Amino acid sequence: MAHEKLLEQISKMKIVPVVVLNSIEETLPKMQALIDGGLPCAEITFRTACAEEAIRLTRKTFPQMLVGAGTVINREQCEKAIAAGAEFIVSPGFSEDVADCCAERGLLYLPGIVTPTEAMAAVSKGLTTLKFFPASNYGGLKTIKAICAAFPYLRFMPTGGISAENILEYLSYEKIVACGGSWMMNGTPEEIRAKTKAAVELVKG
């Protein structure tokens, strides 16, 4: 999908759930809970061994979902994520190898940054929508605004420490595309559905 169209979809959803799956069996109930909660989107992280398989299974079972790969830190993981059907790639930091891999395959890459130097590295690869991570530890919205003063063309997806308590503050700034977070992902599928529904209502309201 074209990057602009994908970013438009992400910005309409306003929230990108960060998903850590400890076993492949957790995949479909958790994805179903996100869909039922009104958020057909997931960043499935390569922090666990089943990430590649989980992305493949989710794409096959729920083609209506927007599925990205998260915590992608090297080319090998990036290639696995793309082969499994990931539609976008997210890293906690900036990786030149991952940036090159995504550029070669035409995939949207959202690298994590927190400093102007890291922003410059991402910009040098033509990347202008960046993850700001870990957002709450690095000054949150105040720091994003300071970075945007020097790089007015950048857009951000803050992640790390985002919750129902502070998401509206982030989303009030026009340079925030969406917020990433895992706060709705703990508990049973029913609890995930309920927290997701509440989050969707909060950001739509």
Task: Please confirm, yes or no, whether 131 is among the known catalytic residues.
Answer: yes
Contact range with ligand 3PG by CB under 6 A, out of 57-65, 79-87, 95-103, 157-165: 157-165
Query: Looking only at residues 49 through 88 of this chain, which bind ligand 3PG when binding is defined by CB under 6 A?
Result: 70-71
Query: Looking only at residues 161 through 190 of this chain, which bind ligand 3PG when binding is defined by CB under 6 A?
Result: 161-162, 180-183
For residues 90 to 109, the per-residue mask of contacts with ligand 3PG, x marking binding by CB under 6 A and - elsewhere, is --x-----------------
Q: How far is the CB of 4 from ligand 3PG (least distance, A)?
A: 23
Task: Please confirm, yes or no, whether 197 is among the known catalytic residues.
Answer: no
Please pick, among 43, 52, 87, 195, the residue that the annotation labels catalytic. Answer: 43
Distance, CA of 124 to CA of 141 (rounded, Å)? 23
How many chain residues bind ligand 3PG (CB under 6 A)? 13
By CB under 6 A, name the binding residues for ligand 3PG: 18, 70-71, 92, 133, 159-162, 180-183
